[in-house]
Amino acid sequence: RQAVYFVEINGTRFKRVVLGDSYEACLVERALESAPASARFPQLIHRHENELLLSFVEGRKFDPARAADLGALAAFFGALYGADRRGESSRNLWRALNIDLDFLATAGLIDPGLKASLLERAGQLRPVDIQVGLDYVDPVAKNFVMDGDSIVAIDVESLRRDVPLGTGI
């Protein structure tokens, strides 16, 4: 849960993001501090309790039909995935998959046969370790703008630390 406001101060536009609580705002602040400069986000100017004040990024809409825009997106994710990542056991993801599949089967959304097939296939593909680090978990076109040849991710609350890489995509 969040609210976004655009604020003008002395003719300059800024973005104000109000999150559900100060803990969420602190998580976003820490993630932004960890992001490499080549994975661009609006500049965090200030965090106060559950609110973030950010620079406003001018630019044109990201166009997934343009090869240059897709190249900028690939460079963005490459920079994120290369920053401060580490290996971790896949045990927690495996547990989450089992819980999710149990829920889907119990709720009648998938049949037991499909659940068994998915678990079998996941077991064949399951890595011992996964890579965790920074990821942008809501990479839809509207959350990016192009600033010249560079891409800027404008939905800062979608930047997460210590998540399995590839979660967003």
The pLDDT tens digits of the residues spanning 137-148 come to 999 999 999 999
Q: What confidence tens digit (pLDDT) does each residue in 97-108 have? A: 999 999 999 999
Strand, coil or helix: what is 169? coil
Is pLDDT above 80 for 1?
A: no
Q: What confidence tens digit (pLDDT) does each residue in 6-39 have? A: 999 999 999 999 999 999 999 999 999 999 999 9
Instruction: Band the pLDDT of 168: cuts 50, 70, 90.
Output: confident
CA dist 116 to 95, 96, 105, 111, Å? 15, 15, 10, 9
Give the span between the Cα atoms of 7 and 106, in whole angstroms.
Answer: 47
Q: What percent of the chain has pLDDT over 70?
A: 100
Instruction: Band the pLDDT of 73: cuts 50, 70, 90.
Output: very high
Question: Span 140-164, mean pLDDT?
Answer: 96
Token pair, residue 57, equals: 């990024």
Give the span between the Cα atoms of 47 and 30, in whole angstroms.
Answer: 11
- Whether residue 62 contacts residue 145, with contact meaning beta carbons closer than 8 Å, is answered with yes
Is pLDDT above 90 for 169?
A: no
Question: Span 127-132, mean pLDDT?
Answer: 95
